[in-house]
Copies of this chain bind each other. A is one copy, B any other.
């Protein structure tokens, strides 16, 4: 019996919503860890977290934090990644970055293992984890692209508040109570904490996720458009998106319309490739009202697909309803998956 090689792993942003999920998944998946280093801002340093029944004190991230670290999982915001990823690389660590800081950098692979695992091999120290809404979409699109070709994607999203952080969760909870008690709702966080105006999310829908760009799209919509093309290696694929924040805590849902290249496909053809696709679970049976919902997908690692239908007026058009936990496959699990692939393929150095 050979001893598995073990690695020194750092989690940057350990006390955040995604950081906590990463630590939980590292434990559940029995990731081969020699030493786990939990890092945060000065404010959260000193917090004690438990990993495999052992208490670990969270330390403030500094340039020296990464000495001896093999793999550094960043999930503390783009500015923290920009500040400390270079130090981590200098000390020999490979960074898996779950922020938008490096995603569109042409020297940085942007990876969903089910879609483009091989891209990890070309990393120069950083692998980027895509945006949550992008990850679940490309996981469902990839098998269709592989088997039938894709020419067009039009998506409307139904996104949970947890994508905007723990404060947004609290806001939804507080506003819901205020509304049900007949009180005025207080809006201070959503749609975007740093933006000029805030609107209630409880019992409402906000067609703005992240800030507006010059072209009228939000940054979230542009992430879905640009990241999808990069991950799938399809700069010519038409992709367009409308992103909407909704009053639920966990899981994003997406109404995705695609046009395939192949003629004469049926819903059964699409079902068949989705049933055999990595990371996808098909939940689609109208006769038993079977389809995924944000609540049914919560705390699970798969991407769930239902409501596959053929456009009645367009031979090559198909609908699907894609749901996944935005903090798990959409963030923490995809990050840990990339780290697993780094090890399994000897792509660390």
Contacts and interface: CB of A to CB of B under 8 A. Distances in A.
Nearest to A321: B207
A113 interface: no
Contacts of A313: 238-240
Contacts of A197: 288-289
A173 B181 CA distance: 11
A255 B207 CA distance: 9
Contacts of A309: 215-217
A257 B257 CA distance: 11
**Listed residue (A156, A200, A206) with the most chain B CB atoms within 10 angstroms of its CB:** A156
Interface string A171-184: 00100110010000
Contacts of A288: 196-197
Contacts of A217: 309, 312
Contacts of A125: none
Give the number of times this chain occurs in the complex, counting copies. 2
A195 interface: yes
Nearest to A314: B238
Interface residues of A, number: 58
Interface in A268-314: 286-289, 291, 293-295, 306-314
A100 to B, nearest CB: 19
A240 B319 contact: yes
A191 B286 CA distance: 13
B240 A203 contact: no
Contacts of A180: 173, 176-177, 180
Nearest to A191: B289
A244 interface: yes
A249 interface: yes
A156 to B, nearest CB: 4
Ordered nearest first, which 7 A-B pairs have the shortest CB separation? A156-B156, A156-B255, A212-B286, A238-B313, A203-B248, A242-B255, A197-B289
Interface of A: 152, 154, 156, 158, 173, 176-177, 180, 191, 195-197, 199-200, 203-208, 212, 215-217, 225, 238-240, 242, 244, 246-249, 253, 255, 257, 267, 286-289, 291, 293-295, 306-314, 317, 319, 321
